[in-house]
Amino acid sequence: MKVAVLCGGFSPERDVSLSSGRRICAALRALGHRAALVDMYLGLDGPPEAAYALPLPGGGCIPAAGPDLEALRASRGGRSKGLFGEGVLELCSGADIVFNALHGGCGEDGRVQAAFELLGIRFTGSGSAACALAMDKNLSKLAARSLGVRTADWLCFPGPWPAGAADAVRLPCVVKPAASGSSLGVSVVREREALAPALEAAARGGRALAEDYIAGREIQCSVLGGKALPSIEIAPRSGFYDYESKYVPGAAAELSPAPIPAEAERELASVSEALYASFNLKGLARADFIMDGAGRFWFLEFNALPGMTPTSLAPQEAAAAGISYEELCQRIIDLAFEEENI
């Protein structure tokens, strides 16, 4: 099968996506597929068909800080203002399927999925509407609450926060971009004077959201084709589960299955599967929760395109279920054909 592995792109999560893409492409080639790795933003230097024979680039550690997007834009030399680089759509159109390894930005908010839907290009993962819902933390929290799923109280505004609005925020709180991932722009605010700078930093890419801080354990549950995988607990060595903790090896302890009671595991799986179905998610997706001291789960967000890097959580959960990385990649492809998203 010819598989175009789409990664990179123009997003603060670009480096994470490149790492996911390299690993996915290597796994697909090991399975016998003709797999081509393509950076959505930088595109191809030669004919699309030649990409299937190119060696994979070296895969070093993900940098502790996000990419320099302005330098990336400059490196393109002004050839195009669009987010699809040279030859990308041609490669994707000629493949049997696109394995979507994008993270953040247009790769995860439904815009790339909408383009593929309009062009009749088959791709892995969820459709445009489901991705848009999952990416928007404000909308996904509203949807979860409408289903009776517990989520922390929050404030979010359609644009800049009105004067005095921050006075209504209870402390401590978590401030985050309303539509971003990998914990970029996220901060825990405990003093009133730190709130305005945190909101400003979180709003640089769009809207900022402030939600009540829930003390507890970070438990996540991936869902593959509607069925929950074993949960995973993340315990950062210091601070909270930020960008560095997620992608620097050894920065966090990760246990799957999470050491929680069997009854709690069943509850978590049930809630995650219900949200997955309600959001109309497809393929592999991951729900994030806080488990408080009373054993109650608080929904944070659903990630429609979880990472597939060497330190990512969903592959670890799959491994706990006896599913190898290669088998996971194949299952994601199989689901895209079973679910017929075109």
164-179 exposure pattern, b = at least 16 Cβ within 10 A, e = fewer: eebeebeeebbbbbbb
pLDDT value at residue 246: 47
134-150+215-322+335-339 is a CATH 3.40.50.300 domain: no
Cα separation, 214 vs 170, whole angstroms: 12
The Cα–Cα gap between 56 and 239 comes to: 35
Q: Specify the 3-state DSSP secondary structure of 314.
A: helix
**In whole angstroms, what is the distance from residue 103 CA to residue 77 CA?**
24
What is the helix (H) or strand (E) element at residue 73, kind and residue range?
helix 69-75
Low-confidence spans in the chain with pLDDT less than 70:
59-60, 78-79, 181-184, 205, 237-251, 340-342
Among candidate residues 268, 303, 307, the one with its CA nearest the CA of residue 287 = 303
Q: Judge contact between 25 and 6, C-beta under 8 A.
A: no
The structural domains of the chain, with segments of one domain joined by +, span 2-123, 134-150+215-322+335-339, 154-212
Pairing of strands 217-224, 232-236: antiparallel
pLDDT of residue 241: 46
Q: Do domains 134-150+215-322+335-339 and 154-212 have the same CATH topology?
A: no
Spatial neighbors of 30 by CB under 8 A, at least 6 apart, are 326
Six-digit token string for 200: 């400003």
Tell me, which fold does domain 154-212 have in CATH? Answer: Dna Ligase; domain 1 (3.30.1490)
State the DSSP H helix or E strand holding residue 144, giving kind and residue range, or none if neither.
Answer: helix 137-146
- pLDDT, position 61: 72
| Catalytic residue positions, numbered | 13, 182, 247, 286, 288, 301, 303, 307
103, 131 Cβ separation under 8 angstroms: no
**Model pLDDT, residue 60:** 61
The set of residues, in sequence order, having a beta carbon less than 8 Å from that of 245 and lying 6+ positions away, is: 183, 234, 236, 237, 239, 251, 252
Domain covering 2-123: architecture: 3-Layer(aba) Sandwich (3.40)
